Amino acid sequence: YRVKYAPFKNEKNNIVGVIIVFQDITEQHKLDNMRREFVANVSHELKTPITTIKSYTETLIENEDLDEELSNRFLMVIDGECDRMARIVRDLLQLSNMDYNKTKWKKIDIDVEKLLREACMKLDLSFKEKNHSLIIDMQEDLPNVVGDKDGIEQVILNILSNAIKYTPENGEIYVTVNRVENDVVINIKDNGIGIPEKDRERIFERFYRVDKARSRDLGGTGLGLSIAKQIIEAHNGRIVLSSEYNMGTEVDIVLPIGTRV
């Protein structure tokens, strides 16, 4: 709280009381802290690949006679780190565009079943690589939802690839779609590593990750869930995550049917 006070005087200028104002500045404080934390996170996320690129490049420059195999390995690392920076910047730009309402949504009727099957096909290789089984169960005669096809597809791909990434080999991933009242609910469930309770409520924050090193190794930016949430909220829907540590994670993507928004 910020406290301000002033004497309260009567017509004879005698002090007869004190006025005290308590101003709640916790919200403002929280926002300031979040902004500072975000800038620190962005700087750190970009600094790591830059340091790596710099040291590998220097080694290449200083050692002209490095054998070809080794120098190729160095170049591959540099290439990978450039890709990482490009992903971070791409995700940040997308978030910033949404923050400033600059994203042009092209809202059309979407056949959710078709979109989901296409998304699963796109990830077919990732499923096979980890030998996961994919079990799809969709209610018949689902109503269409109105939305931006690329946006909704991005959300589905994101949640599905998290399920693939954070589930050890030979896992099971269930995708179910149902109409619940005036919503279409896409449920994506895995039996993977799960999310500890202490991390659960912060998991949609930008750059928040349970295990930074693991996420980085898997090519993550820590921005996927915050992007997904923002896209779904721009469609008047919501994302609900529940998880049990070491048991698995379940995500509901809830999208309203019917009217164009």
Given the rule CB under 6 A, which residues bind ligand ADP?
162-163, 166, 190, 192-195, 203, 209-211, 215, 220-225, 249
Nearest to ligand ADP of 56, 241 (CB atom) = 241
Nearest to ligand ADP of 158, 184 (CB atom) = 158
State in angstroms the smallest separation of the CB of 133 from ligand ADP.
Answer: 16
- Contact between 204 and 229 (Cβ < 8 Å): yes
Nearest to ligand ADP of 32, 129 (CB atom) = 129
Instruction: Find the helix or strand (DSSP H, E) in which 240 lies.
Output: strand 238-244
**Nearest position to ligand ADP, beta carbon:** 220
Nearest to ligand ADP of 144, 187 (CB atom) = 187
Nearest to ligand ADP of 56, 92 (CB atom) = 92
State in angstroms the smallest separation of the CB of 192 from ligand ADP.
Answer: 5
State in angstroms the smallest separation of the CB of 21 from ligand ADP.
Answer: 41
State in angstroms the smallest separation of the CB of 224 from ligand ADP.
Answer: 3
State in angstroms the smallest separation of the CB of 166 from ligand ADP.
Answer: 3
Q: With CA atoms as reference, report the closest residue to 175 among 235, 112, 220, 238.
A: 112
Q: What is the DSSP track for 133-177?
A: EEEEEE-SSPPPEEEEHHHHHHHHHHHHHHHHHTS-SS-EEEEEE
Separation between Cα atoms, residue 126 and residue 253, nearest integer Å: 21
Angle among Cα 111, 113, 116 to the nearest 5 degrees reads 110
For residue 257, the 8-state DSSP code is B
